[in-house]
Amino acid sequence: MKTRTVQRTQLVPHTINGKTQMVLDRYDVEVPVPPRDWDRTVLTAVTAAAGFIGVACIVWSTASIGDLLARATVAPAAYAAAGVFDLVWLSCMALEWLARYDAERAKFPRRAGYVALAIAMVAVGAHGWIADQAAIGFVGAAVSGLAKGMWTLVLRHHAKPLDRKTQQWVDAERAEVGGRLAMVAVRRELNRAENAVAAEQAAIGAASPESPEIARTPPEDEAETPDEEEEPAPSGPMTIADAVRTAISCGITSPDAVLRYVRRVADANAKESSVERYLRGLRKPA
C-alpha cells in the first residue's frame, strides 16, 4: 500500500527555568494514499473532450452559416447571426445540466436543444448545397449532430435523477422558498404604491387647506386622552426625525402614539429605540 508523509502539529509542555508552557510540536506521520479513481479520471477526460468538440463545432458552424448569410448582408452581421445557431442549443444543454437532478424540468431544455440543433444542421447543409458542394454540407451538418450527441451522453452520465418521493420533497421546498422570494418583490411593489397614494393625498391636502379632514377639530375627550391624540396628516415623504418633530409640534406626547405616527408616515420598520432617542433630544431644555 502506498503512503505519503504528512506533517502535523500538537501541543506539548515545554519547561524553562521551572515554568511550563504549552508549545506546538511538529511531527511527521505516514498516511495511506487512496487508489487512483480511474472512473473519475475517464469522466473528466471525456467531459474535456466534449468541451473541445463543442468549441470546434461552434467555429465550423459559424464559419459555414456566416458565409451563407454574408451573401445577403455585411460580413460582421452575418457571422454574428451565425453564432446564434450553435449558441442556442449549447445554452439549452447548459439549462439541462442545471436541471440534472430534476428529470421533469430537464425535458423542455433537451427538446428545445434538439430543435435548435436541427435548424443549425439545416443551415449548414444549405450552405453546402448553395455552394454546389452537397457532400461538404452534409459532413458539416454531421459535425453539429456529433457534438450534440456527445454532449447528450455526457450530460446523461452526470445526471442524478431523484426518486419520486424525494423529488416531491424538493419541489415543495423549492415552492416554499420561491414564494418567500416572490413576496419580496410584492412587498416592494405595495410599498411603492402606498407611498404614491400618500404623496397624492398629501398633495391634494396641501392644495385644499379647508378640507374637512384638515379643518376638523378634535372633541375635548379625545384631546384629554393621550392614547387617542389626533395625528396630523402626512405632508409628504418624511424622515424619522421629521415625523417625531411633527408629532411633538401637534401635541402628541405619548411615546407609543409617536411611534405609531412615525411608522405610518415615515418608516414602517422604525425601531422604538430610535424614536425614543429623537424624543429625548427634542425634550431636552435649550
pLDDT, position 133 = 84
233-252 per-position pLDDT tens digit? 455 567 777 787 787 777 77
Pair (13, 58) in one structural domain: no
Pair (153, 227) in one structural domain: no
Q: How far is CA 138 from CA 116, 122, 132, 145, 246, in A?
A: 17, 9, 12, 11, 80
- In a domain? residue 206: no
Residues 6 or more apart in contact with residue 50 via CB below 8 angstroms: 147, 150, 151, 154
pLDDT, position 227 = 46
Q: What is the mean pLDDT of residues 178-194?
A: 88
3-state SS, residue 86 = helix
Cell numbers placing 86: 450553435
Cβ neighbours around 255 below 10 Å, total = 13
Instruction: Give the global pTM.
Output: 0.51
Pair (237, 278) in one structural domain: yes
CA 153 to chain CA mean position, Å: 29
The residue segments making up the domain with residue 25 are 3-32
pLDDT, position 23 = 92
3-state SS, residue 223 = helix
105-137 per-position pLDDT tens digit? 888 988 998 898 899 889 888 888 888 888 888
Average pLDDT of the chain to the nearest whole number: 81
Q: What is the mean pLDDT of residues 169-180?
A: 87
Pair (154, 241) in one structural domain: no
Last residue of a domain, one of 114, 137, 158: 158
pLDDT, position 206 = 61
pLDDT > 80? residue 224: no
Pair (72, 143) in one structural domain: yes
DSSP 230: P
Inter-residue contact 202 to 237 (CB < 8 Å) = no
Pair (228, 275) in one structural domain: yes
36-46 per-position pLDDT tens digit? 888 888 888 99
Residues 6 or more apart in contact with residue 81 via CB below 8 angstroms: 65, 66, 69
Pair (71, 140) in one structural domain: yes
- In a domain? residue 53: yes
248, 254, 214, 216: which is closest to 234 by C-alpha? 214
Cell numbers placing 168: 416531491
- Helix 134-158, helix 75-98: angle, nearest 10: 30
pLDDT, position 22 = 92
d(CA 278, CA 36): 68
d(CA 196, CA 194): 5
249, 240, 231: which is closest to 276 by C-alpha? 240
Cβ neighbours around 32 below 10 Å, total = 9
Q: How many structural domains does the chain have? A: 3
